[in-house]
Amino acid sequence: MKNLLLILSVFCIISCKTKDRKKITITDFSKIRIDTLKPYDNKSYVGFYIKLKGYANDSIKIQRKGYYDVILTGQLDTIINGDYYGGEDVIFVFKPYLANKGKIEIEYSL
């Protein structure tokens, strides 16, 4: 029985790990964070989104590398979305910019 539970636990951990979605919590505002999402070959995509929730004591910058920068500040509860049709990796960059304190939950998804 213990072996079955162990096998099921390992399977769940492996299957729950996705490469086209990430969820992180930022509490260290001294570093830039870069995350790359990779599309699955056999999956159709029509867009991407970034969900931000939390707060920062000053401006932060979210960047889709090669496309745009969004500057946000203060209390955050927002969604940024756009078109995406697959075929290329998507690189998101979190920059603390002027903020040095806070806690922000970020979810990136294709």
What CATH number did the domain enclosing 74 receive?
2.60.120
pLDDT at residue 65, rounded to an integer: 87
Quote the Cα angle for 72-69-19, to 5°.
Answer: 100
pLDDT at residue 92, rounded to an integer: 95
How many separate domains does the chain show? Answer: 1
The neighbour count for residue 65, using CB atoms within 10 Å, is: 13
75 exposed, middle or buried (CB, 10 Å; 0-12, 13-18, 19+)? exposed
The enclosing H or E element of 11 equals helix 2-16
- Print the domain residue range for 52: 2-109
Task: Note the pTM of the prediction, 2 decimals.
Answer: 0.78
Give CA torsion, residues 70, 45, 106, 16, to 10 deg.
-170
Helices (H), 1-110: 2-16
Determine if residue 108 is left, alpha or beta; phi over 0 gives left, psi from -120 to 50 gives alpha, anything else beta: beta
Q: pLDDT by residue for the chain (110 residues), tens digit each?
A: 555 445 544 444 444 567 999 999 999 999 999 999 999 988 999 999 999 999 999 999 999 988 889 999 999 999 999 999 988 999 999 999 999 999 999 999 99
pLDDT at residue 2, rounded to an integer: 57
